[in-house]
Amino acid sequence: MSDMSSAAGQLPPEATFDLMLAFLKALANESRLRVVGLLLQRAYHVKELATELQLKEPTVCHHLACLAQVGLVEMSARGNVHYYRLRERELRRFGRLIFRERGGAITSATQHPQDWASRVLGNYLEGEALKTMPASRRKRWVVLKWLADKFAPGKRYREAEVNQLIQRHYWDSATLRRELIGYRMLNRSEGIYWRQSEEEWLSA
């Protein structure tokens, strides 16, 4: 069983974000939410859960493993039967962590936008190389703005030139090219791309 959540308070911000993302992914499934709902009442063994949820036992085991991986479920043996119970303390801890991080990010980004954007870039850039793309929409927008600023206003680019410019900073030029278009930071027509004015951009 994982103790990922127990150490959340000691993790650096990006690791904490990854932990929250893993937690939310674990609960982004109707069957797993139903498992959590049942385990809030009492401990269950796999066969009981399978009957209650009308699922096959291997499927229930998979869902329990996903929840255990983020520290929400633990198993105990009663004779030859394995029972699973919800770690309610960890569920509450995650709830506090999510609202704390969400509130902190919004406050920081609203009151000190330039400082916050600089910190985001500092976390995701190594020199001029992008280490990875943020999962957060707001942080992705900051990185995409940084990349859009690499395109000269008024200049026309062929697609190969756009890809080449992006690949100086990140390997996945196709995805970032589509996102730049999606946010209207770049526009295109008949295979030619150009940077749009910031007034045309979509917000995060």
pLDDT, tens digit (0-9, with 9 covering 90-100), for 51-70: 999 999 999 999 999 898 88
Long-range contacts of 147-154 (CB under 8 A, 24+ apart): 147/176, 147/180, 148/180, 148/185, 148/186, 148/195, 148/201, 151/186, 151/193, 151/194, 151/195, 152/195, 153/195, 153/197, 154/194, 154/195
| Ordered domains of the chain (ranges, CATH) | 5-93 (1.10.10.10), 112-200 (1.10.10)
Q: Give the whole-angstrom CA distance, residue 103 versus residue 87.
A: 25
Give tens-digit pLDDT for 31-47: 888 999 899 889 999 99
Task: Check: pTM over 0.75? Answer yes or no.
Answer: no
Give tens-digit pLDDT for 95-120: 776 665 554 444 444 444 567 788 88
